[in-house]
Structure 1
Amino acid sequence: MIIGVVLVIALAISLIIVIKSANVFVDNLVEIGGAFGISEIILGVTASAIGTSLPEFGSAVIASLSQSTEIGVGCVIGSNIWNIAGILGLSAIMAGNIGVGSANFRRDFTAPLLTGIVLILFMFLGSIGRFAAFVMILLYLVYFWSLIKAQKDYNRKHEENGGRRKLDPRIVLFAFFGFAGLVVGCRILVYTAVELARIFGVPEMIMGLFTLAIGTSIPEFVVTLSSAIKGLHHLSIGTVLGSNTFNILIGIGVPALIKPIPVDPLALNLDAPVMIMVTILLLLLIRRGEMKLKRSGGIILFTVYLVYAFIRLNGVGYV
């Protein structure tokens, strides 16, 4: 009983740390981007996306090193579904809408969709081996090169419109501490949530598929929601799309270099197709909303996640 109370208090404190750290990180990240002439969307799909994806990446690598490779894949796929249907859905509901720039629409939405399809194709082979790992990592390098090229085009326009702002070293320090607080706070948050789940008798399968996947995506959630509320829509949606691309190509690619990853038939037949489906659904909702994910679209996405969770937990005999 005492342990449970301590965990609840730790959970509340870590949540406050995460929310505050996310605000500091987002505000200063935008300032750094302005100083270096980096566009908001590029910041989202690179620095913010990679930074907030470290928990999923770390979980996948640790799972591979501990011979539990299936857990790593489940965490990545589960996180990607939650990122779109849960995080963007809730963020749109709370913020009212999330706008998308038409100039980057095709590139940034094509990347997570194609990487999801590539993952499914390799999953059909029965395991994700080193050849698949090399292909995935190479694809990410190509994607990253396209971002650098887009940034150069942005810099030319940016310099024509007045040049870059001066960078205050304190901004870099604040951004670092904001991100550090985000990592530490999320680690405590995930630990306390898992321990509370064990105390209340939640099955390990459910913990792995949902508690770990959602828990490791907390950085994306707080950064995306904070950005959406502040009106930094490109940073908000860029964080999720960039994170999903990074999660698959690097989050699965690097662990597959360490050890081939066997494929769970249920992940191939249900989880991966749902990941593709919610990505396509997001595209359709944004086009229908005139390049905005509106509150109604957010409700649809989050409802889809709840239906998926219900089917996954009740329709396959795990409960």
Structure 2
Amino acid sequence: MVYVLLVAGFILLIKGADWFVTGASEIARILKVSPVLVGLTIVAFGTGAPEATVSIIAAVEDSPGLTFGNVIGSNIINIAGVIGLTAVILPLKVESQTVRKEIPFTLLAGVAILALVADRWVDAEATNILTRGDGIVLLLFFTIFMYYVFELARNHRDKAITEGVDERTASGGGWGKNSLFTLSGLGAVVLGGYWVVESSTDIALQFGMSETLVGLTVVSVGSSLPEFVTAITAAIRKFSDLALGSIVGSCIFNILFVLGAASIINPLNIDSRIFVDVTFMIILTVSLLMFSRTGWKVGRLEGAVLVSSYIIYLIYIIYRN
């Protein structure tokens, strides 16, 4: 049965991503906002739903290794795997505001999570815990990010109205049709991602993998499939800004909202080995920022570097286990 669910989950992911991107891109036109804004919000939070679901349920069930490992592992594969593979298939155009603001905010989120537990890191005998207070701090950072996104959307809409642009005439349908496409696609993506995660986790545990390793690998890869399929679909449809925006937004959502909410529900005991993974995630974010500034795109060579780094990292954490 787990293998049937695995196959069915992949089918739902692929078809759901197609509907989701179609509906979301058309809603962007109707609202007179840029696709990157839709990527940072609707698409990012929608495709991030599997990570949020798995991590919060794991926190409730007192499985902190799975919660923290899933979030950090998902961000690593989002940057190195999803952006890397997408760029190898089709180079990704990067908006200047993404380089100047969104990617640095992703870096800030990574540094914040490292800083919140740094005082326990330096003391070998201390217990590494992400407390409820830390969770509140992360959610406050998330509130600031949402304020920035809404201001950006308002300014972009005001500019479109001033220029007299009526994007609704160019859209492929009205609110009803595109909302149905978006919601149906999101539902299929979330359900498909959940089936893939549940079935693949059962299979991995049968092979004797540890909870943290399952979170860093199987669960993070499975729950990142919505981002990957959505990004590939968006890039092929020439919405590369939506593709990159969705990944950046998903990374911010994972760290600030998912970890923040999970640690408020149940303080998270953190395996000291996870600091290596957090540091690697920050290095990847810095690399993405540097790559994005070269010609305002992430090219095939840079994508190959990101993918290669993830393969090396994967070999390392399997060996570490």
2:270 paired residue number: 263
SS of residue paired to 2:238: coil
* 1:123–1:263 contact (8 Å) kept in structure 2: no
SS of residue paired to 2:311: helix
Q: Tell which deviates more after alignment, 63-72 or 155-164.
A: 155-164
SS of residue paired to 1:67: coil
Alpha-carbon distance, 1:139 to partner: 0.9
1:11 is aligned, of 6, 9, 17, to: 6
RMSD: 1.6
1:207 paired residue number: 214
Alpha-carbon distance, 1:137 to partner: 0.6
* 1:112–1:244 contact (8 Å) kept in structure 2: yes
Paired residues, what number?
A: 307
* 1:60–1:72 contact (8 Å) kept in structure 2: yes
2:291 paired residue number: 285
Is 2:282 the partner of 1:276?
Answer: yes
* 1:35–1:164 contact (8 Å) kept in structure 2: yes
Alpha-carbon distance, 1:242 to partner: 0.5
* 2:76–2:281 contact (8 Å) kept in structure 1: yes
Matches within 5 A, 1:135-284: 135-159=137-161, 160-165=163-168, 167-198=174-205, 201-205=207-211, 206-268=213-275, 270-284=276-290
Matches within 5 A, 1:111-150: 111-126=105-120, 127-150=129-152
1:3 paired residue number: none
1:94 paired residue number: 89
Work out the percentage of aligned pairs sharing the same amino acid: 29
Separation of aligned partners in 1, 2:215 and 2:106: 23
Distance 1:262-1:191 versus aligned 2 partners, 3 A rule: closer
Distance 1:198-1:104 versus aligned 2 partners, 3 A rule: closer
* 2:99–2:292 contact (8 Å) kept in structure 1: no
Is 2:304 the partner of 1:309?
Answer: no
2:37 paired residue number: 42
* 1:286–1:293 contact (8 Å) kept in structure 2: yes
Alpha-carbon distance, 1:7 to partner: 4.2
Measured against aligned partners, the alpha-carbon deviations of 1:12-45 in whole angstroms (never above 9, x if no partner) come to 3332221111011101111111111222111011
Is 2:32 the partner of 1:25?
Answer: no
SS of residue paired to 2:273: helix
SS of residue paired to 2:298: strand
Is 2:71 the partner of 1:76?
Answer: yes
Q: Tell which deviates more after alignment, 299-308 or 14-23.
A: 14-23
Separation of aligned partners in 2, 1:198 and 1:70: 14
Separation of aligned partners in 2, 1:84 and 1:70: 21
Separation of aligned partners in 1, 2:258 and 2:136: 13
Alpha-carbon distance, 1:177 to partner: 0.9
Alpha-carbon distance, 1:198 to partner: 4.4
* 1:34–1:165 contact (8 Å) kept in structure 2: yes
Q: Tell which deviates more after alignment, 110-119 or 178-187.
A: 178-187
Separation of aligned partners in 2, 1:247 and 1:109: 14
Alpha-carbon distance, 1:142 to partner: 0.8
Structure 2 unaligned regions, length at least 5: 121-128
Separation of aligned partners in 1, 2:204 and 2:196: 12
Separation of aligned partners in 1, 2:229 and 2:304: 18
Is 2:301 the partner of 1:296?
Answer: yes
Separation of aligned partners in 2, 1:163 and 1:180: 30
Alpha-carbon distance, 1:129 to partner: 1.2
Distance 1:191-1:133 versus aligned 2 partners, 3 A rule: closer
Residue type of the alignment partner of 1:243: S
* 2:69–2:215 contact (8 Å) kept in structure 1: yes
* 2:10–2:196 contact (8 Å) kept in structure 1: yes
Alpha-carbon distance, 1:250 to partner: 0.7
Structure 1 unaligned regions, length at least 5: 1-5
Measured against aligned partners, the alpha-carbon deviations of 1:281-313 in whole angstroms (never above 9, x if no partner) come to 11112223x111011111000000011111111
* 2:64–2:270 contact (8 Å) kept in structure 1: no
